[in-house]
Amino acid sequence: MGFSDRWREGANPGNVGSIDLSGTHEACECRPLVFVRFLFVIIALPVAWVMAIPHVPLPLWQAAAAVIGGTLMYVALAYLINPQPDLENLGYLVGMVNDPCSYSDDQNRMLLQLQCVLGPGRFVAESLFDMKCFFQHDEENFAQPTEDTWHR
């Protein structure tokens, strides 16, 4: 942030997004989408692990523990940290060109980049939580009798 940034936006900065640290997620109601996302995650994660483990300069079991542990930490952080940039204030040409007299657009572009980096981990976490909610929902429906069975 240079002098011109502070001079122009010092008294009236533009809108800046936020970072949500609550780790909330609304469960997906579309059953086919839940299964497809879960199937993709279950196939893609082991493939990525098998491709990454040989490149770690450790014994096999240590490399596997490091790669899988790192993946789990990344997924947890991606679920807990949810950056939400203000997409109306990204600079010129929707963030492709910097506004040299504004620093709030720099912060929004940083939040957008963080959102892109954490996006795949959030996809994995949300897929796993959707599947968990799907099975909990089925158990609740199975355990509770419907109204029709009591009126017969």
d(C-alpha 151, C-alpha 134), whole Å: 28
**pLDDT number for residue 38:** 93
Query: Mind listing the pLDDT tens digit for each residue in 71-128?
Result: 999 999 999 998 988 877 777 776 677 777 777 778 888 888 899 999 999 999 999 9
Q: Are 11 and 75 in contact (CB under 8 A)?
A: no
Helices (H), 18-103: 31-52, 60-80
Question: Which 3 state secondary structure label does DSSP give 120?
Answer: helix
pTM given for the model: 0.75
**pLDDT number for residue 87:** 77
CA distances from 58 to 8, 52, 53, 54, 67 (A): 52, 12, 9, 9, 11
